[in-house]
Structure 1
Amino acid sequence: MKAFQVNAPHDFKVAEVEVPTPAAGEVLVRVAFAGICGSDMHIIHGDNAFVRFPRITGHEFSGVVEALGEGVPDVSVGDRVCVDPVISCGTCYPCRINRPNVCSALEVIGVHRNGGFEEFVSVPAANVHQVPEHISLDAAALVEPYTIAANVLDRMQPHRGDRLLILGAGMIGMTILQMARAMGIDEIIVTDVIDERLAAAKELGATHVLNSRTQDVEKEILALTEGEGVPLIADAACVPALLPQMLRLASPAGRIGLLGFSVQPSDLIQLEVIKKELTLVGSRLNNRKFPEVLALMASGKLDPLALVSHRLPLSEMPDAIDMLDHRPEEARKVLIQISA
């Protein structure tokens, strides 16, 4: 079968590999669609400290169950599924307090073990979620990015009437925007440096958009909020240098959700945190958010296909990587169609 394999940083190709055999407790999924994520790009560039090479990447995918390993209940051959990439041990401290997404022995499909950019992938049966019939498999491939949004919003604990500032109008910023709207957050400010992305954010429900390259973001936001600042700030830009600005823009008692994996240090002025009693929370992957996102998709409150800009076959994966590297303004979400 064909698979997109990363052998080492900057060394990748579509290769022939063997079809895996599902072990006990696993299912074999014939992959229909898989989305390219920023995390996949970090693996390709050698910026992911967790990956083990060689690796078939891809952690956003959907498909159809092809075969079952031994001892698999509640899953049948032919089931349409999407896959939660979080594999946890169930016994360590984070797992015991119901935070398996930061399990001490965490494995992530597409990072620590092979993922969805292949024709068939074997995954734990506990990680597959059945897709309702009226949700298409291309839409179901995008459940995982929305779980990232659901997780960071949950970590920030929104209150009724809270304003939300989203830094960055890329894919994760857009899923946070849609998820926040679905949760009833009415006023949402989005910043970016690309006007096309800001226009898309406006189409998807942002109440205010600001180009941080051409506008004074702090001045504009403080004017919008009558000097109070913003209770909720989601850092979907993942630029460490922006943390001081986030601290200044946060309202007293504000919550800031951080999503980036950069190893670069951030300047943190303790006075800003203490005088406002701010809460800074990290958010990694998702904590069992797949059922919540599938329910919102089924209700029509999320529109994943509005985020898709390109659909390409697996053979054109290297071209998609080149586009995302050199012409990112052309793309929102790039979906790879593997079988359908």
Structure 2
Amino acid sequence: MRAVLVEEFGRLPEVREVPDPVPPAGGVVVRVEATGLCRSDWHGWAGHDPGITLPHVPGHELAGRIEAVHPAVTGWRVGDRVTVPFVCACGRCPACAAGEQQVCERQEQPGFTHWGSFAEYVALHAADTNLVAIPDDLAYETAAGLGCRFATAYRAVVARGRVRPGEWVAVHGCGGVGLSAVMIAAACGARVVAVDVAPEALELAGRFGATAAVDAGAAGGDAAAAVREATGGGAHVSLDAFGSAATCAASVASLRRRGRHVQVGLLPAGGTPVPMDRVVALELDLLGGHGMAAHAYPELMRQVAAGTLRPDLLVGSVISLAETPAALAALSEGSPPGVTVITPHGTDGPGRGPGR
């Protein structure tokens, strides 16, 4: 198969012919019809994840159809249309037994612990625990984001942030996960402040439900103060959807008393300065968001089917596998507006129905 192969961290990868994957024990091989280009993939390519072994194929948010099934799999057949959380849980550890597969103690992550979905095919583990069926009328390009960005934002807003109608929610970083969070928080009835340095991103955030915007580049270096002013004292919930020391600190500093910070963007290993004096004085909650377990998808899927949530609107561009190496490296300069989706088999591949 053809795949994007990283042979040296930080060096432009190449599209190469590599061996086809085979189903792992209890797993499947999926023909990748669409896969998202995410900042987490950039972190892996840049060498920020010590668990990655070279050579490596990135890619972790995907949708496609099952190509091959291990004999131990009972719930899935060749041809099924599926997506998968980026955390593939083992299904057997204490965390999984408690229903918290997103923090599985023996998790696998395509594109990190093993070769991922920037390829024509990808192997996925523990299929009966992790696969999520996608309906025939949901485009693969839309469904790909449900494996990471949109589902991660959904759980971060609804389950971790516990956003309630009328609350102020600040979203720092309006790339794919940030715009998803804006849309989801607005659907929850919250008032949303979008924070970014790119006018195009802030314009999209307004389209997806943000009621206020803060240009972090024009805020005199104090985006948090601008958020506190816009919200009349600070956000009830603030999310760092970008993942940097600056956005993490600004998110925490954006909160009002007893507010809730949710860290969604991946941060490189090492120290990240957090204004802990403010955390103590205002009794702030610091929370992490790490994806969403497969069993939690039905409510998200219902809202997508009903049109309450429109992840299809987040797709900014669709590119080929050949265009992927340059697009991955370009994330060093920032994320483009919306979500970039890769179609390894081309935009007219099998599985694309009318209007998709």
- TM-score, normalising length: structure 1: 0.91
Between the aligned partners of 1:261 and 1:270, the Cα distance in structure 2 is: 17
Root mean square deviation, CA, Å: 2.1
Task: Report the 3-state secondary structure (helix = DSSP H, G, I; strand = E; otherwise coil) of the residue aligned with 1:179.
Answer: helix
Structure with greater proportional strand content: 1
Kept in 1, the 8 Å contact 2:171–2:240? The answer is: yes
Q: Which moved more, 1:92-101 or 1:129-138?
A: 92-101
CA deviations on 1:100-148 (whole Å, 9 max, x unpaired) are: 2222322211110121111122213222211112111111111121111
| Farther-moved stretch of structure 1 (85-94 vs 48-57) | 85-94
Map 1:1-340 → 2, pairs under 5 A? 1-11=1-11, 12-124=13-125, 125-126=127-128, 127-144=130-147, 145-153=149-157, 154-182=159-187, 184-215=188-219, 217-226=223-232, 228-259=233-264, 260-288=266-294, 289-326=296-333, 328=334, 330-339=336-345, 340=349
Please name the residue that 2:354 is paired with: none
Q: Secondary structure at the match of 1:35?
A: strand
Distance 1:83 1:218, change over 3 A: closer
Counterpart code for 2:34: F
CA positional deviation for 1:304: 2.2
Separation (CA, whole Å) in 2 of partners of 1:23 and 1:280: 37
Please report how far the alpha carbon of residue 70 of structure 1 lies from its aligned counterpart in structure 2 after TM superposition.
0.4
CA deviation map 1:41-90 (0-9, x unaligned): 11111122332322211111111112221032221221111122312334
**One-letter identity of the residue aligned with 2:134:** V
Residue 146 of structure 1 aligns to a residue whose secondary structure is helix
What percentage of aligned pairs have identical amino acids? 28
What CA distance in whole angstroms lies between the structure 1 residues aligned with 2:205 and 2:48? 28
Shift of the 257–102 alpha-carbon distance from structure 1 to 2, 3 Å rule, reads same
**Relative to 1, partners in 2 of residues 1:329 and 1:109: Cα closer, same or farther, differing over 3 Å?**
closer
Structure 1: distance between partners of 2:66 and 2:252: 46
The answer for unaligned runs of 5 or more in structure 1 is none
Structure 2 unaligned runs (5+)? 350-356
Cα distance change, pair 51–134 in 1 and its aligned pair in 2 (3 A): same
Give TM-score scaled by structure 2 length.
Answer: 0.87
Equivalent pair of 1:324/1:331 in contact (CA under 8 Å): no
Distance in 1, matches of 2:39 and 2:57, equals: 15
Cα offset, 1:91, TM superposition:
4.3
SS at match of 2:166: coil
Distance 2:92 2:77 in 1: 28
Describe the shift of the 1:4–1:90 C-alpha distance in structure 2 as closer, same or farther (beyond 3 A): same
Shift of 1:320: 2.0
Letter in 2 for 1:206: A
Residues 134 and 213 (structure 1), Cα distance of their counterparts in 2 relative to 1, 3 Å cut: same
Q: Which amino acid aligns with 1:151?
A: R
Secondary structure of 2:323's aligned partner: helix
Supply the distance in 1 between the matched residues of 2:6 and 2:298 (Cα, whole angstroms). Answer: 31
The one-letter code matched in structure 2 to 1:317 is T
Q: CA deviation at 1:329?
A: 6.0
**Closer/same/farther in 2, CA of residues 2 and 252 from structure 1, 3 Å limit:** same
How far did residue 190 of structure 1 move? Answer: 0.5
The number of residue pairs the alignment matches comes to 337
Q: Is the 8 A contact 2:171 2:192 kept in 1?
A: yes
> Is the contact between residue 172 and residue 251 of structure 2 (CA under 8 Å) also seen in structure 1?
no
